[in-house]
Amino acid sequence: MNDPRPKIREAAREAHKVKFPHYEHNMTKKGLTAFLLELFIHSNIRHEQGDNVTVNMLMTMDDTGLVRRIDHDKSADESKTEVTCIEEIKNDMRFHKS
Q: What is the pLDDT of residues 22-32, one digit of tens each?
A: 988 888 888 77
Domain co-membership, 18 together with 41: no
Q: Is residue 17 part of a domain?
A: yes
Q: Which residue has the higher pLDDT, 61 or 89?
A: 61
Question: Would you state the pLDDT for residue 18?
Answer: 92
Amino acid, res. 81: T
Give 95: exposed, middle or buried? Use CB within 10 Å, 0-12, 13-18, 19+.
Answer: middle
Is 82's pLDDT higher than 60?
yes
pTM, entire model:
0.45
Measured distance CA(2)–CA(66) in Å, rounded: 43
Domain count, the chain: 2
Residues 61, 23 share a domain? no
Residue type, 45: I
Instruction: Kindly state whether residue 23 falls inside one of the protein's structural domains.
Output: yes
Give the whole-angstrom CA distance, residue 79 versus residue 92. Answer: 12
- Which residue segment(s) compose the domain that 73 sits in? 36-92
Let me know if residue 97 belongs to a domain. Answer: no
Residues 20 and 61 in one domain: no
Spatial CA neighbour of 35 closest among 57, 68, 60, 58: 60
